[in-house]
Amino acid sequence: MSLNRRNFIKASSFASFVLGYSLNSKATTGLLLGQSSTNDSVNEIANDSPVQDVAYTASSSLDFNGDNINRPHDILWNIDGYVAKKGGIPAPSVWTGIVVAGGGMSGLFSAYHLQAHKPMLLEQDGVFGGNSKGENFDGSYYSIGAAYVTIPDEGSEIETFFKDTGIFDKLKLESDTETSVNFKNALMRDFWKGASDPENAAQFIAVEAEMRRIYNDAYPDIPWIEDSAITFEELCKLDAITFDKWLDQTFEVVHPHVREYFQAYCWSSFGGSIDELSAAQVLNFVTAEVDGVLALPGGNSYITSTLHKTLKANLPDGHVLSGAFVLRIHEQESGKVWVTYESKEGQLITVECDQVVCCFPKFVAERVIVNIEPERVSAIQSLMWRGYIVTNVIMDGPIKSPGYDIFNLYGKMQESPTPLNPPKKLATDVCFGTWAQNDEVNHSVMTMYRPLPFEGARQFLFNPLSHQKHLIASQNEIAEFCQAVNIDASKIKGYRLTRWGHSLPLAYVGTISNGTVQALTKPINDRIFFANQDNWVNPAFECAFTEALTVAQKIESLRA
C-alpha cells in the first residue's frame, strides 16, 4: 500500500478527526524537568520522555532548549582520543539481536517496527524525540520542534499506525478552507483565491489548481516507491531543477505574493530558499498540504511520546536507554557488529549484535562507523544542514486561536539571504500550539518559527549572547503578530526559546538525481542499516516513518 497522501480526504471515516478532549495536567515545582539545553547533564534529567513538564515558575527560559551541544561536540571531534582516555574499547558485555542507535523520530519508529525482536534503543541525549519534542505548561501542550503531519492515505501504514496507537482519534484537521495568512499585518483568508490582489486572482488560482493536480495525479513520493504516481526518472527530472525554476517553467506569470509565500514556506520547512531547493522536494511537501494539515497536542511530540511509552512497556528493562552516546560501530570478522557506547554514568559498554540501525544524522555516522566506505563519506560530506529557532509564547489565560499555522507575508519578496545580507524578517509562521486542545486550556501558547536559511548562520547560535539576541527579536516580531491577529500582547506570561543547530538536512537540487541518496541509504553487508530523514534529505515525519519501516522490513526478511 502506498504511503503517499492522495485520496484519504475522501474517506468517510474522516469525520473522526474532529475531536473534543482534554489532557491531564502534570503539575511540577522547581526548575524545568528534563530541559534539553546546553547546560544540562544527562544525569540531571528527571525522565526521558519526549514531552517535558515545565514548572509554573519557569514560563521563560534563561537559555535555549533543544540541542544539547556540549557532550556531542566534546566527543565527536576526537573519538579516538576520548576512547583512549576511557581505557579503550571494552569487550562485549551485552548481547542482543538488534541495536537501534538514535532515539529521534526515525529511531523510535525503527524500534517500534522491530519490537518483536526486542531491539536495544540507544539515545545520546537525556530525552528521546530528536527535534520532535514538546513541553507541558500547566496542562498546555506545545511543540518545541516539528509541529504537524499531512493527511495519510486511507489504509496506508501511517494511517494504520495512527489507529493502532490511538493517535488517530487525537488528530485535528485544519482544512484548506480554514487556513489564513498574516498579510501586511492583517489576517487574511482565501489567499489562494487572490484575496491579496483580487485583480490578478487568476494567477493565484492557477497555481493552487496545479498544486492540487499534482497532489491527486502526479504526487512525487519521497522516498520514491514502486507504485508512486510518477516514475523514478520523472522524480529525478524534478529533482534536477530548483523550485524557483520549476515555477517559471510551469506558469506564464508567478505573482510576487505567491513567490513570497513559497519563499517563507521553504524557509520554514527546509531552511532554504526557492532558488536552491529541489523542485521534487518542495512539491513533495507543499502539494501534500492542499487539503490541510493535521495537528496533535504538543505537535509531533505526541507521536514520539506515544512511541516512547509503547517501547518502554514492551521492551525488556535496559533496552530503552537515554544518555547512551554511541562512540563506535564496528563490524567484526565473525559477522557480528560491536556497538560501543558511553552510558550516562560515564562507563563504556560494548554490545554485540547481529544488525544495527543508524538513526542519527549522517555526519555522526561518518565519525562513529569504523571503515565506512569512501563513496558514502563523499556523499555525507556533500550534505548541508540548516538550523532554526522556535519561540514559544505562553499566554496568561486562554485565547481563541485564529487558526493553527499562519504564515507571515509582508507584501514583498525576501531575497535569498547570505551572511552579509541576512533576512530582515525571520519569523516565517506562527502555530497556535494549544489549538489542537480546542483552546480548552489555562494558558494558550503561540509557537513562532524563525529559520536561519543560509550557510554560515547556525554557528552564531552558539554565541553566549545568542539567546538574548533572539529573545529580543522574537519579542518584537511577536508584538507585530499579536497586533495583526488582534491578540492582547499584555497577556504574554513568558517566552521559551528552543535552538536546533543542524536539524534540517538541506534538500538542495540534485541530491536524488545525482546518486547522493543511493550512496547514503544502502546498507553495509546487511549488518549496518540507515534510517533517518537525511536518507532522502527530506525533513518530514513521513520520510522518517517510511525509512524506518523499509529498514525494518529488510531486517525482518534477513531474520526470517
Each domain of the chain, given as residue ranges in start order, spans 13-22+165-292+383-505, 42-138+300-380+521-559
Is the pLDDT reported for residue 1 higher than 60? no
Residues ≥6 apart with Cβ < 8 Å to 9? 151, 291
Give the pLDDT confidence of 215-272 residue by residue, as tens digits.
999 999 999 999 999 999 999 999 999 999 999 999 999 999 999 999 999 999 999 9
Mean pLDDT of the chain: 90
In DSSP notation, 155-201 reads T-HHHHHHHHHT-GGG-EEEETTT-EEEESSSEEE-GGGTTT-GGGH
For residues 419-431, average pLDDT? 91
**Range name among 149-153, 382-386, 418-422 with the lowest pLDDT average:** 418-422
Neighbours of 479 (CB within 10 A): 12
What gap in Å lies between CA 391 and CA 109, rounded to an integer? 27
Specify the pairing of strand 348-353 against strand 337-342. antiparallel
Q: What is the rounded radius of gyration, in angstroms, for the C-alpha atoms of the chain? A: 23
What gap in Å lies between CA 333 and CA 354, rounded to an integer? 12
| Whole-number pLDDT of residue 16 | 38
| Whole-number pLDDT of residue 46 | 57
Residue type present at position 507? A
Residues ≥6 apart with Cβ < 8 Å to 258? 203, 204, 207
Ramachandran class of 368: left when φ > 0, alpha when ψ lies in -120 to 50, beta otherwise: alpha
What gap in Å lies between CA 184 and CA 494, rounded to an integer? 26
**Range name among 26-30, 183-187, 361-365, 467-471 with the lowest pLDDT average:** 26-30
For residues 432-438, average pLDDT? 97
Q: Looking at 262-378, which runs of residues are DSSP E strands?
A: 292-295, 320-322, 325-331, 337-342, 348-353, 355-358
| Whole-number pLDDT of residue 24 | 32
| Whole-number pLDDT of residue 3 | 43
| Whole-number pLDDT of residue 128 | 97
Is the pLDDT reported for residue 459 higher than 50? yes
For residues 290-297, average pLDDT? 97
CB-CB contact of 278 with 507 (8 Å)? yes
pLDDT-based confidence at 149, cuts 50/70/90? Answer: very high
CATH topology of domain 42-138+300-380+521-559: FAD/NAD(P)-binding domain (3.50.50)
At residue 546's C-alpha, the angle toward residues 544 and 551, to 5°, is 95
| Whole-number pLDDT of residue 295 | 98
Q: Which of the four CATH numbers 3.30.70.370, 3.90.660.10, 2.10.25.10, 3.40.50.2300 does domain 13-22+165-292+383-505 have?
A: 3.90.660.10
**Range name among 22-36, 223-237, 244-258, 382-396 with the lowest pLDDT average:** 22-36
CB-CB contact of 492 with 514 (8 Å)? no
End-to-end Cα spacing for the chain: 22
| Three-state SS at 55 | coil
Among 247, 250, 258, 251, which residue's Cα sits nearest to residue 197? 258
pLDDT-based confidence at 289, cuts 50/70/90? Answer: very high
For residues 82-99, average pLDDT? 97
Is the pLDDT reported for residue 518 higher than 60? yes
CB-CB contact of 55 with 32 (8 Å)? yes
Identify any residues that bridge with 425 across adjacent strands, giving them in sequence order: none
pLDDT-based confidence at 25, cuts 50/70/90? Answer: very low
pTM: 0.92
